Amino acid sequence: MNTDVQTQNALMPMDGFSDIDPTSSPLRGPGVRFKDDAYFSFSNKLDVKGKTYAVIDLKRGWQKLEKDCPPEYLMRELGKPMPPQPAVPKEKWPANFNGQPEHPWKSTHYLVLLDIATGEVSTFWTNTVGGRVAVGALKDQVDFMRQHRPDAIPVIALESVPMPTQYGGTKPRPSFKICGWRSSTANQQLLADKTVVEELETVEAPSLAEEMNDELPDYLTEAPKAEAPKKKPSKK
């Protein structure tokens, strides 16, 4: 997925926005998380069945969450490598759910979503193994599609699939089913406007020739020629 191409006037997903403070919150609209085989915004369970979302941005950075403290962020800047994890003395690490000390700064991915039906903007974020797997799978699909359609925007459904655990069982993880692709020339400043949804145009999937990055042989592109009827022998 190309995260280093910037456009001034077009709605280009996974491209970020210029002049962003790397310590500011990457969340746009309500934050969305996956937990217990469901999606939540704060403590409210979301009904995502039948809904689709255009993924208009992908961001990654370090997020610090501590009890009774506002979140802190250190985001990867566009075109630059991931910054190093902020240093925190181990004696100051908070305890995790298992009572073990854990580094407070965690690598986190953020997907900015645009509800296709309503135009509402929200941000799915995750710092779990399952979440990283889901984001990585989506990134691979977008990388491939953009080799043929550079401005392609994935339209996804928020689902879940079982994931093997280190203990031999399974547990649910988020999964982003691709329902289609869109492109747009809408201005980025209009993302929160419902009219943006109307300006997203459908993108056709690449042809077989484009996927193979080559011209197809004639026998795959031309219709077979009908054979001339054989002449019946004349009767003498």
Query: Is the predicted pLDDT of residue 116 greater than 90, yes or no?
Result: yes
- Is the residue at 217 inside a domain? no
Query: Is the predicted pLDDT of residue 3 greater than 50, yes or no?
Result: no
- Is the residue at 26 inside a domain? no
Host domain of residue 59: 31-209
- Is the residue at 25 inside a domain? no
- Is the residue at 15 inside a domain? no
- Is the residue at 132 inside a domain? yes
Q: How many domains is the chain built from?
A: 1
- The predicted-structure confidence for 52-94, as pLDDT tens digits, reads as follows 999 999 999 999 988 888 999 999 988 899 999 999 999 999 9
- Is the residue at 18 inside a domain? no
Determine the Cα–Cα distance for residues 11 and 56; give it in Å rounded to an integer. 8
Determine the Cα–Cα distance for residues 220 and 205; give it in Å rounded to an integer. 18
Mean pLDDT of 146-166: 93
Model-level pTM? 0.73
- Is the residue at 158 inside a domain? yes
Q: What is the pLDDT of residue 123?
A: 98
For 86, residues 6+ apart whose C-beta sits below 8 A from its C-beta are 62, 64, 74, 105
Mean pLDDT of 19-45: 92
Q: What is the pLDDT of residue 221?
A: 45
Cα–Cα distance list, 225 to 77, 218, 219, 235 (Å) = 57, 12, 10, 30
How many CB atoms lie under 10 A from the CB of residue 122? 20
- Is the residue at 218 inside a domain? no
- The predicted-structure confidence for 178-211, as pLDDT tens digits, reads as follows 999 998 544 343 344 444 455 556 666 665 455 5
Highest mean pLDDT among 21-25, 129-133, 163-167: 129-133
Q: What is the pLDDT of residue 126?
A: 97
